[in-house]
């Protein structure tokens, strides 16, 4: 067992910290207020290799691996959790799906552009009537003229408004001799019949784009299929295991950022003639926060290590990690606001944003209830 980062991992994480301070921190408060994406910074991250961290070098990636990715995500999330989720979707949900399920032609066409940030990607699974239960989706793909025609509307798609490449999941007809199922498709934003729909106005991660994706007689060639026809749910579920590493690292970063702010504030704020950091009640609160962040971080790097080590499945571990890290971040951000008293409720203080940003980590890529369901099924052998 080795708990040290390699030199390469350390350099990637240190670089992410510098980037977050220099490029994300100055802009985040205003962009959060306006609900706008820092697309310039996101593109720059592509140039620096942070949008292709698990993509092989021969496919144009930086191949730094999941541990370096998790550590970098912590640094981005501390400062701008909206930009961080865009990085997470690109690495975990889009690149990984294309790398694992794409044909050689799809890998060649999409991965170099995604890994360099020339293209931004998104992963469109959820619909208005199909969230925790994606199998009940209603978007359809019908075979026509040797290709497919898609109809339906996806919602809540992260990066939707800035995406050049789209992974979308549909209900599909039974192939000759097969059964109907869910299929995944990989397309570009200029596909005829596709358009971006409503842009969501959100509580948190306001520097990320979340939109509807509308398919109206959207015509795709046969080679737009990602993975086997009718086996799209497998693509979604296997990809989401890795995705949960991204969201857990987002939660850890938000929590660590809130802890750092709380420590700083507790040392500065004077009440009853001394800094509030000298009050035992607050010291215990800070000690609990720091301990919880450390536990989640340890779990995070273990699951990221499992991915780098090529362990075939880490579904249970990824679900436990995402569940613990996101609920930990909830508790830590709650306490960080408490340490700030009334000032924590004000937009001038960073904890106010972190508190709002944290909330989504308990919801997307599977709610906490769904993570508990996945864990229970695994330990009960169901």
Ligand X SMILES: Cc1cc2nc3c(=O)[nH]c(=O)nc-3n(C[C@H](O)[C@H](O)[C@H](O)COP(=O)(O)OP(=O)(O)OC[C@H]3O[C@@H](n4cnc5c(N)ncnc54)[C@H](O)[C@@H]3O)c2cc1C
Q: Site residues (CB under 6 A) for ligand X?
A: 89, 123-126, 131-132, 156-158, 202, 210, 360, 363-367, 369-370, 373
Q: What gap in Å lies between CA 164 and CA 1, rounded to an integer?
A: 41
CB of 367 to ligand X, least distance (A): 3
Closest CA to 151 of 121, 193, 192: 193
CB of 235 to ligand X, least distance (A): 12
Rank residues 13 and 93 by Cβ distance to ligand X and give the closer one: 93
Strand 165-172 relative to strand 140-144: parallel, antiparallel, unpaired? parallel
**Please, what is the angle between helix 232-268 and helix 66-79, to 10°?**
50
Rank residues 64 and 167 by Cβ distance to ligand X and give the closer one: 167
Three-state DSSP string of 191-234: CCCEEEEEECCCCCCCCCCEEEEEEEEEEECHHHEECCCCEHHH
Residue 154: which H helix or E strand, with range? strand 147-158
Cβ atoms of 209 and 160 within 8 Å: the answer is: yes
Rank residues 21 and 132 by Cβ distance to ligand X and give the closer one: 132
Please say if 365 is a catalytic residue: yes
Candidates 75, 261, 362, 365; catalytic one: 365
CB of 191 to ligand X, least distance (A): 18
Cβ atoms of 326 and 361 within 8 Å: the answer is: yes
Cβ atoms of 174 and 201 within 8 Å: the answer is: no
Residues 6+ apart with CB under 8 A from 165: 94, 110, 113, 114, 119, 120, 121, 122, 186, 187, 188, 189
Q: Minimal CB distance to ligand X: which residue?
A: 131
At 381 the three-state DSSP class reads: coil
CB of 242 to ligand X, least distance (A): 14
CB of 8 to ligand X, least distance (A): 29
Rank residues 81 and 218 by Cβ distance to ligand X and give the closer one: 81
Rank residues 255 and 370 by Cβ distance to ligand X and give the closer one: 370
Catalytically annotated residues: 365
């Amino acid at each position: 067992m080795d708990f040290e980062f390699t030199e390469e991992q350390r350099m990637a994480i240190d670089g992410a910290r510098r980037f977050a301070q220099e490029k994300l921190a100055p802009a985040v408060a205003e962009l959060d207020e306006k609900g706008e994406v820092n697309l310039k910074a996101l593109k720059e991250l592509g140039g620096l290799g942070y949008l292709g961290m698990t993509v092989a070098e021969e496919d144009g990636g930086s191949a730094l691996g999941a541990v370096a990715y998790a550590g970098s995500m912590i640094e981005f999330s501390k400062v701008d959790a909206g930009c961080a989720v865009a990085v997470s979707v690109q690495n975990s949900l889009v690149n990984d799906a294309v790398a694992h399920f794409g044909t050689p032609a799809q890998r060649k066409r999409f991965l170099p552009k995604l890994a360099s940030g020339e293209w931004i990607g998104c992963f469109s699974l959820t619909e208005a009537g199909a969230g925790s239960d994606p199998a009940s989706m209603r978007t359809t793909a019908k075979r026509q003229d040797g290709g497919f025609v898609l109809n339906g509307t996806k919602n809540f798609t992260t990066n939707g408004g800035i995406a050049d490449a789209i992974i979308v999941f549909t209900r599909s007809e039974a192939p000759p001799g097969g059964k109907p199922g869910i299929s995944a498709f990989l397309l570009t934003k200029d596909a005829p019949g596709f358009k971006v729909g409503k842009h969501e106005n959100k509580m948190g991660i306001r520097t990320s784009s979340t939109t509807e994706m509308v398919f109206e007689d959207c015509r795709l060639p046969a080679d737009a299929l990602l993975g086997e026809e009718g086996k799209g749910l497998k693509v979604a579920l296997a990809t989401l295991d890795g995705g949960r590493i991204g969201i857990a690292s987002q939660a850890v970063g938000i929590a660590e950022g809130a802890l750092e702010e709380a420590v700083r504030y507790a040392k500065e704020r004077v009440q009853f003639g001394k800094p509030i950091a000298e009050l035992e009640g607050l010291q215990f609160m800070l000690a609990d926060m720091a301990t919880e962040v450390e536990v989640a971080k340890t779990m995070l790097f273990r699951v990221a290590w499992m991915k780098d080590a090529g362990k075939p499945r880490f579904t249970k571990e990824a679900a436990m990690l995402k569940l613990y890290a996101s609920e930990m971040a909830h508790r830590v951000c709650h306490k960080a606001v408490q340490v700030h008293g009334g000032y924590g409720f004000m937009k001038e203080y960073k904890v106010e944003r972190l508190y709002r940003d944290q909330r989504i980590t308990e919801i997307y890529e599977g709610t906490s209830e769904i993570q508990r369901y996945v864990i229970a099924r695994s330990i009960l052998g169901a």
